[in-house]
Structure 1
Amino acid sequence: MGKLRAKSEYESLRNARILENQARLASLGVQKTISDLRSIVSSAKPKKHVRKWQKKEYDITPLPPTPATNSLRRSNRLRGKVIDYGEPEEGSKSFSSQGKVKRPANASCQLSPQDSARRCRGKEGRCSVYNPVFGISCHFCRQKTLCAEEDCKRCGNLDANQPCIGKTDCSVCHSSNGVLCRACLKVRYGEELEEVRENKEWMCPHCIEEKGINPYWICNSSLCLKNRKMAPTGIAIYRARELGYKSVAHLLMDELQRRNPLCNK
């Protein structure tokens, strides 16, 4: 009972002080000053402009008719035209879905005089006529170009059944690792294509290393060097010739031998 009585006395005293303070503030005009300041601050704030959304309608105008010259390209089959390609060559048998003999797909592939001249100039350097069908990719430059050999029936007559005499062929693996063009064979490995063609037992650098004939004679293509965790050499033939080496492979062979002299024992 004593606690409840003390609490009620404290609350009554507190309420009396609150009323006294409010009366004093009212006599001083503090409440009116606060309300005036609030009204001034609220009037000074700029009002946000709210844009009203309006739906915009677009007029749809039809496109003008397309002239006949700009019509979509369509095949003769879709346009309903029948073209007679003539009689097929003797020995070639190719049939369409209707069972009729049709012209081979590569029968019309012929080199223009300009492309033929570009192909023949490639014998002194790299070939420049790209052909994804008849060109064989070189392991080093990875270019599917036609070779520059005059007697090559594959690149000259575009006959896919004939081998390319302008690219090497390893006598052991017969894989793409042993396919090199004339320029890459000479610049990167110091060998001539005529000598390789005459040597029926010619082996690519991969097979030479695998058989242990010369452990320092490696393939210096960018793919093979990356597999060895080695940086590609780039155009290193100029540096090799300045140092007196026959090719890039001879330069790398000497560097590897100096780096690991015990490997030859």
Structure 2
Amino acid sequence: MGKLRAKSDYEEIRNARLLENQARLASLGLQKTISELRSITSSPKSDRTNVRKCQKLDYSSTPLRRSARLIGKSPSSNGDLVNFQGLDSEDDKNRPANAPLLSIRRSLRPKLSPDALTRRCTSKGRGSLYDPIYGICCHFCRQKKLCGEEDCERCGNQDMDQPCIGKTDCSICHSSNGVLCRACLKVRYGEEMEEVKAKKQWICPHCMEDKGINPYWICNSSICLKKRKMAPTGIAIYRAKELGYKSVAHLLMDELQRADKRR
């Protein structure tokens, strides 16, 4: 009986508070405001005005825009980019990878400002000036920068007929696999750019492996290592130097040779 009586007292107090709150809302005029808000929010969607309608566009009757390069035609007469002419000719198959063919109307070829020319030569390693048009991508660092060589006609004067002397070119494949900047060439493979230029018949790591010239000598770019199902080495030059190796490639060559002997 005591529990029922306590419950009854609680309900009476609660009901009294509800009545008191309702009377207070009515005296403040808030009850009317609440009812008005409820009527607005509960109104049907069809009564709303200025509702933005979604219009479905029909593209089926509109011809698709196709790349002029892919269909073998020159772009329109405004001609920012004229073409990639002669890509299938025999001369262009042997064209150096550090001198890719890019035919742009001469009047539209951008020229570097004196300030940009100064900044271009502040770093000979990977270059300090990024250029998405004239810059040639390094196979390892994949930085599309103008080289920092002072006498490079391609990067300095945008002469498309000249090779970039700050990037390598394989004498066998002439492919992007053999394009390396000065810094990556030295750090990752232990070679100097001046030595490569003097050789004239420089061979990239890919072709060296294919020809069997140097056993266990492989390209250690992240792209090539992933194809081999090997983990990229990251910044391994510090470990290579601590262990007395000339470059990361020399370190990997020794590790691959030891692993082959353990099998």
Q: One-letter code of the match for 2:121?
A: C
Cα 1:97/1:259, change in 2 over 3 Å: closer
For residues 102-139 of structure 1, the C-alpha deviation after alignment (integer angstroms, 9 at most, x for no partner) is x934555121233222211121x321211122111111
Q: Deviations over 1:120-172 (max 9, x none)?
A: 1121x321211122111111111221111111110010111111111111111
Superposed CA RMSD in Å reads 2.7
Residue 58 of structure 1 and its aligned partner are, at CA, apart by 4.7
- Over 3 Å counting, the alpha-carbon distance change for 1:150 and 1:106 in structure 2 is farther
C-alpha distance in 2 between matches for 1:116 and 1:189: 29
1:110 alignment partner in structure 2: 111
Q: Higher strand fraction: Structure 1 or Structure 2? A: 2
Q: Deviations over 1:45-78 (max 9, x none)?
A: xxxx994537233599xxxxxxxxxxxxxxxxxx
Structure 2: segments with no counterpart, 5+ residues: 1-37, 53-75, 79-103
- Report the structure number with the largest CA radius of gyration: 1
Alpha-carbon distance between aligned partners in 2 of 1:210 and 1:59, rounded to the nearest angstrom: 67
Distance 2:210 2:158 in 1: 35
One-letter amino acid of the counterpart of residue 111, structure 2:
Q
> Structure 2 length as normaliser, TM-score?
0.61
Number of corresponding residues: 175
- CA–CA distance in 2 between the matches of 1:250 and 1:214? 11
Moved over 6 A (4+): none
Shift of 1:200: 1.6
Q: Equivalent residue for 2:64?
A: none
1:97–1:173 Cα change, 3 Å: closer
Distance 1:106 1:169 in 2: 29
| Counterpart in the other structure of 1:152 | 152
CA contact (8 A) 2:128 2:148 kept: no
Q: Distance in 1 between matches of 2:108 and 2:155?
A: 14
Residue in structure 1 matched with residue 140 of structure 2 by the alignment:
140
Q: 1:260 to 1:121 in 2, by over 3 A?
A: same
Task: For 1:205 and 1:108, locate their aligned partners in 2 and report how far apart those are by CA, in whole Å.
Answer: 34
Equivalent position of 2:197 in the other structure: 197
Q: 2:48 aligns with which of 56, 70, 84?
A: 56
Structural mapping, 1:122-141, within 5 Å: 122-123=123-124, 125-141=125-141
Q: Which amino acid aligns with 2:177?
A: N
**Cα gap change, 1:173 to 1:58, in 2 (>3 Å):** closer
Aligned AA for 1:53?
Answer: P
Distance across 2 between alignment mates of 1:258 and 1:248: 16
Aligned twin of 2:245: 245
Distance 2:255 2:161 in 1: 42
Q: Specify the alignment match of 1:176 in structure 2.
A: 176
TM-score normalised by length of structure 1: 0.60
Q: CA–CA distance in 1 between the matches of 2:135 and 2:235?
A: 24
The change in CA–CA distance for 1:106 and 1:150 in structure 2 (over 3 A counts) is: farther
Q: Distance in 1 between matches of 2:140 and 2:230?
A: 16
- Does the 8 A contact of 1:134 with 1:159 survive in 2? no
Residues 213-241 of structure 1, C-alpha deviation per residue, up to 9 Å, x if partnerless? 11211000011001111000111111111
Paired with 2:107 and 2:137, the residues of 1 have a C-alpha distance of 19
SS in 2 for 1:133: coil
Partner AA of 1:198 in structure 2: A
